[in-house]
Structure 1
Amino acid sequence: MEVPDLYAVLGVEPSATAQAITSAFRRRVRELRPDTRVDADTARRFGQVRAAYETLRDPVRRSAYDRTRAPAPGGTAGADRLPPRPAPGRRGVVLGDPPAEPPLRAGPVRWERPRRS
């Protein structure tokens, strides 16, 4: 199965700004609204648009994708390899990375009212 070009899925140039990518994503989502169009092809295309936007909106994942799609010295593009996806619920953490220390968490703050005499 061939992986589509993420820029072509959104209909933008590789030099597009983040604002242009967001605008193109919103335009595509309006075209493929899953609540009004119910068929397998639309659902598949909507998934591709969402996946393309998730990769291209993040500067780190976008640069990794750009490196993989650049022509290799042998003359073949590395478009068959996508950058790793972050683990669900943990933004920026790539699956397979060693676990990082959990973030510092503070409990709820309790405010006491001054007692009236």
Structure 2
Amino acid sequence: MSAHGAERDPYAVLGVSPDATQREISSAYRRLVRGLHPDGPDGDSGKLGEVVDAYERLRDPGRRTEHDRARHAGTRRARRTGPEPTEVPVRVHRTPRQPEPDVRAGPVRRHR
């Protein structure tokens, strides 16, 4: 989460396209970290934190897929117009459960 309260797209933060390879993402991250490191001449710890957060989200394939799904769902939701769908009541019919048979356990005998 950035300091402004709204999350920026991690692809935009790293300056890569959404279909970038893992190598391109890592390369962009390293380049930005070198330039923004607090010990460097252009050090900016605020932007550095944003870059690190973006890379954390995109470096793990599972988290990247999750982000892409949420991003895709958000654009579909933004395009949809009209009233929200209403909930439809659903009835579930259950059959009565049969009583469980008695389970008997006795000594285990080994046959030779």
For this structure pair, what is the TM-score category when the shorter chain's length is used for normalisation? 0.5 to 0.7
Whether 1:17 aligns to 2:17 is no
Partner of 2:78: 75
Whether 1:26 aligns to 2:30 is yes
1:37 deviates by 4.7
Partner of 2:98: none
Partner of 2:61: 59
The one-character-per-residue Cα deviations of 1:24-73 (angstroms, maximum 9, x if unpaired) are: 0011011101212587xx11110010011111010000000111111444
Unaligned 5+ segments in structure 2 are 80-112
Identity, % of aligned pairs? 46
Distance 1:20 1:38, change over 3 A: closer
- TM-score (norm: length of structure 2): 0.60
- TM-score (norm: length of structure 1): 0.57
Q: CA RMSD in A?
A: 1.8
Q: Which runs of 4+ in 1 moved over 6 A?
A: none
Compare CA radii of gyration and give the structure with the larger one: 2
Number of equivalenced pairs: 74
| Aligned partner of residue 75 in structure 1, secondary structure | helix
